[in-house]
Amino acid sequence: MPVLRGSLGAMETAQLSSPLARQLDPGRLDGELAEGATRGSFTFRPMALLAVAAVMAASWYWVPELVYLLGFLGVIIVAHEGGHFVAARAAGMRPTEFFWGFGPEILAVTHGDCRYGIKLLFLGGYVKLEGMTPTSELPEGFNEADTFRHATHRGRLITILAGPLVNVAMAIAAFAVVKFAGGAGLAASLMSSLAIVWEIVSLTGLALWQLAADLGAYVAAVVDTSGQTVAPVRFLSPVGQARFSGQAVDMGADGMLLWFGVLSCAVGVINLVPLPPLDGSHAMVAITEGVLQRVLRRPVQLNVAHLLPLAYLTIGVLLAISVSALVLDIRELI
């Protein structure tokens, strides 16, 4: 998830949290590990859990900033997916999975009609909703009335927007707490928080526009091994984000809340961009269906599966930005 440097924004990779991304999720290939046990509704793979614990312990010893970043993102991702989950339930859908991470399950339990747990790769998270497209097949015995496609346009739109809105709401709360603790009144704290959020939105949009408008200069800065060419806009890779996370922790509670707010708001805002597989594309589909249905006076359901080529293109662009940001961050460290 590259973060815009100097613009207080963030770019979320497609696998992080998007309903269409569930169909692209590499974690759907739930491979079995050599060690472990799955009994009924409970899965526990101790060797995988020990491996994760060892990696986290080594990271804590050598690069504690990485652990801080994972902590920030873990809360942001789970809250984002929790927004989707709660809204989906309220809209009459029946989520079947709620996971942090991708890949093989290392700890999972089925409670009621949904499976919850942690997967091996902490690269994001997801809530699985059945019937994301008009043609997608349902598990045996799954009720059509519980699917995403069967819900009302309003229910689908609220479900899609709930994740990003939770992130923005958490950012507003984090900024407001800092302002309030600093002596500002409640109303002033909230107004100041809204102003910061708007600044993140506007500067993120401006930075993305600058990137698109001067792509050649950005590419030149990435391939220039001498480091003499200046990029028109800079992004933060996980390396840069980890460094900022460490600085935020060193600053104490105020620093952590401010950095958490920036990350949370940026994740929410970028997810609202109307490009698949981000949440914004699903919101646009729901809105378009609702408008067409009113105009044509008949049921209309667009097949988002046709957007998969564009989704892969978007993922490719995001990965290219992530890799280029990593190159620039490592070069700066060296």
Residue 200 located in a structural domain: yes
Instruction: Provide the token pair at 74.
Output: 């873990």
Instruction: Provide the token pair at 165.
Output: 């809105």
Residue 238 has pLDDT above 60, yes or no: yes
Residue 279 located in a structural domain: yes
Cβ neighbours around 203 below 10 Å, total: 16
Please, where are the H alpha helices in 251-307? 253-271, 279-296
Considering its fold, how many domains does the chain have in total?
1
Domain that holds residue 192: 3-133+148-333
Residue 139 located in a structural domain: no
pTM equals: 0.85
d(CA 121, CA 111): 22
Residue 210 has pLDDT above 80, yes or no: yes
Residue 183 located in a structural domain: yes
CB 277 within 8 A of CB 14: yes
Residue 38 has pLDDT above 90, yes or no: no
d(CA 170, CA 178): 13
Residue 281 located in a structural domain: yes
Percentage of the chain surpassing pLDDT 90? 59
Residue 72 located in a structural domain: yes
Residue 15 has pLDDT above 50, yes or no: no
Residue 203 located in a structural domain: yes
Residue 215 located in a structural domain: yes
d(CA 140, CA 306): 25
Instruction: Provide the token pair at 210.
Output: 């600058």
Q: Among 73-82, 232-241, 282-291, 322-331, which range has the highest average pLDDT?
A: 73-82
